[in-house]
Structure 1
Amino acid sequence: MSEKKEVKDQFIIAYLPDLDNTQTIINNAICFAKMLNKGLILLYISDKAYKCVSITDAEILLKELSSKITGIGFHSYCAIEGQTKDIINKIPHLLSGVLLVSATEDKTNAKVKEKLASNPDIMLKNLYTSRIAYFISSQNLNSNLPFNKVVMTIDNMRESKEKVLWGSYFGRFANSEVIVYYHNYKDEFYRHQLHYNIKFVMRMFDNFKIKYNLHLSSNSKTFVDYQAIDYAKENNADLIICQTTKNKSWFEELFTLKERKVINNSQQVPVLFVNPREDLFILCE
């Protein structure tokens, strides 16, 4: 770390898995730092499991990248050697991080033969136990995020409420319009749980005077996050807010995690993921 920080501070972490492709991540992280009035730390993890550079070489480049950042009160950089998944899990205590911002490599790039930490599947594997929310976009996203419109999915699960706080941040700090996207269920118990979650959203958003709209999808069969991606693209939303699978079996981790399709969405809609865990770190306002 190049500068001293206080323990009470919280930071946006720009996780740079590939030092040859950093601008999209840094731009997005700056947008979040300004929106949430937080400092920014550029993070590189030198993990020998993937294509990497030494800590010394990384710090030289990180220092140069950090020197070009303007418009936020605090910014610094950090290069750490170790296993990516373990370091990311320690970010709340290690760096006082409250949001990780990163970007994934295009999976269709046939020229890439090396194992990259920016590969979408590898990225998700390293992040699915994260104790802070994480925002993932394509490396092809060139423009700054205006946060004008945000789509947040809600389902019948109790954990669905855990992302509502993040939905409120966009409405409160960026004056975003929040679209609460959901579909109904045939099962009466599921409908009751969904209704309870929507009431929770409405109470919180009304309390903070957030601009929001409820959008009921007529498609009750397709996973709601998949639908939200199409809706976000068609309605020019800047991102969607989703939650990850709570209880992941070994089979799901290897093959069928639903968020794998979300993070790999062909529409290249950015996604903010919230892991449903009791020790999740949240924003200090």
Structure 2
Amino acid sequence: MAEVKAQKIVVFLQLNEFDKNLILNGIRIATIFKKELCLFYQLKKSEADEKEKIKALLAAYVNPVKNEIPELPVSTLILHDKLHELPDKLADDYEAILLLAGALQFPKYAKALAESPVPFLFVNESIGNISTFKKLVLPVDLRKENSDSALWSSYFGRFNGSGVVVVAASDKNKDEQKQVMLNVALAKKLFGKFKIEHKIFKGAHSSLRNTFEGFELAISSGSDLLVILGSSTITPLDWLIGLPEQKIIKRAGNLPVLVVNPQRDNYILCD
């Protein structure tokens, strides 16, 4: 019988002073979902001779976590694959279910996010305050993939007692608005099924600006997690001027942003 591997919260480390905040956020998420915490480092070609030294650094990170929280499974992992190939490998070979990275590093991870079958959680690694992930804002537009971002919001509601504010897009086209309302109804049904506290807020902007409206509400309301869909299509111009999610994460300050990739079928969190 094949061994059942534990799902993991994978933290992308930088081997600098920001690692502490990244690890603390990883501990919080792993504790919420009762998953293994995996401290990960992508080895550069120029660092091949330093692999053993880096292993020792990661082990030094693990020891205090095990001492403080002995019930939390913690592992380390070093791979040298190309960054855009890592999400698939981490999800398929190592059971990663969520990838946590520093917000300041978003441009580095943008292409990996577009290939990822699991969401990326971006946190501000330079700020010591760790989110409770209790107050969520979920923008909902006309894309059918909103079911994935709603599902992840429901995970926080189920396992963390989080409340969700849904910001529904207001599209002028009747068919587009019909799809928005269907997506809202499906999210509402999901939250109702698990008795998750939620509110529906009718936004003032179309699906094109809905994510930004949700972001502004999250900031003004003091929310501590924004759950969004990434870009469905990406053009060369988008890479040049910056993706919408990049613009949001750049302005997010201490607000963590969970980005779900609408270009891939997303893996499901096991209860």
What is the TM-score normalised by the length of structure 2? 0.90
Aligned partners of 1:47 and 1:83 also within 8 Å: no
Change (3 A) 1:266 1:32: closer
Local SS of the residue matching 2:145:
helix
Residue in 2 aligned with 1:129?
A: 115
Residue in 2 aligned with 1:108?
A: none
* Structure 2 counterpart of 1:148, from 121, 127, 134: 134
Aligned partners of 2:26 and 2:100 also within 8 Å: yes
More helix by share: 2
| In structure 2, C-alpha distance between the alignment counterparts of 1:213 and 1:146, rounded to whole Å | 19
Deviation at 1:95, TM superposition (A): 1.4
Local SS of the residue matching 2:180:
helix
Residue in 2 aligned with 1:76?
A: 75
Structure 1 stretch 10-19 or stretch 58-67: which is displaced more? 10-19
| In structure 2, C-alpha distance between the alignment counterparts of 1:53 and 1:263, rounded to whole Å | 34
Residue in 2 aligned with 1:99?
A: 98
Deviation at 1:48, TM superposition (A): 4.0
Question: What's the CA shift string for 1:190-229, capped at 9, x where partnerless?
Answer: 1100110011011111111100011122244861111222
Deviation at 1:269, TM superposition (A): 2.0
Deviation at 1:260, TM superposition (A): 1.6
| In structure 2, C-alpha distance between the alignment counterparts of 1:267 and 1:73, rounded to whole Å | 29
| In structure 1, C-alpha distance between the alignment counterparts of 2:118 and 2:160, rounded to whole Å | 20
Aligned residues with identical type, % of pairs: 25
Question: What's the CA shift string for 1:53-83, capped at 9, x where partnerless?
Answer: 8322211110000111132431011112232
Q: Is residue 8 of structure 1 aligned with residue 33 of structure 2?
A: no
- Structure 2 unaligned regions, length at least 5: none
- Structure 1 unaligned regions, length at least 5: 1-5, 106-117
Q: Is residue 39 of structure 1 aligned with residue 36 of structure 2?
A: yes
Structure 1 runs of 4+ with >4 Å offset: none
Count of residue pairs the alignment pairs up: 266
Residue in 2 aligned with 1:109?
A: none
Q: Is residue 29 of structure 1 aligned with residue 26 of structure 2?
A: yes
What is the TM-score normalised by the length of structure 1? 0.86
| In structure 2, C-alpha distance between the alignment counterparts of 1:52 and 1:219, rounded to whole Å | 50
Residue in 2 aligned with 1:264?
A: 250
Q: Is residue 169 of structure 1 aligned with residue 182 of structure 2?
A: no
Aligned partners of 1:55 and 1:80 also within 8 Å: no
Change (3 A) 1:8 1:176: same
| In structure 2, C-alpha distance between the alignment counterparts of 1:12 and 1:266, rounded to whole Å | 22
The residue type paired with residue 80 of structure 2 is E
Local SS of the residue matching 1:264:
helix
Structure 1 stretch 28-37 or stretch 267-276: which is displaced more? 267-276
Residue in 2 aligned with 1:211?
A: 197
Q: Is residue 58 of structure 1 aligned with residue 54 of structure 2?
A: yes
Aligned partners of 1:150 and 1:177 also within 8 Å: yes
| In structure 1, C-alpha distance between the alignment counterparts of 2:60 and 2:86, rounded to whole Å | 23
Q: Is residue 225 of structure 1 aligned with residue 180 of structure 2?
A: no
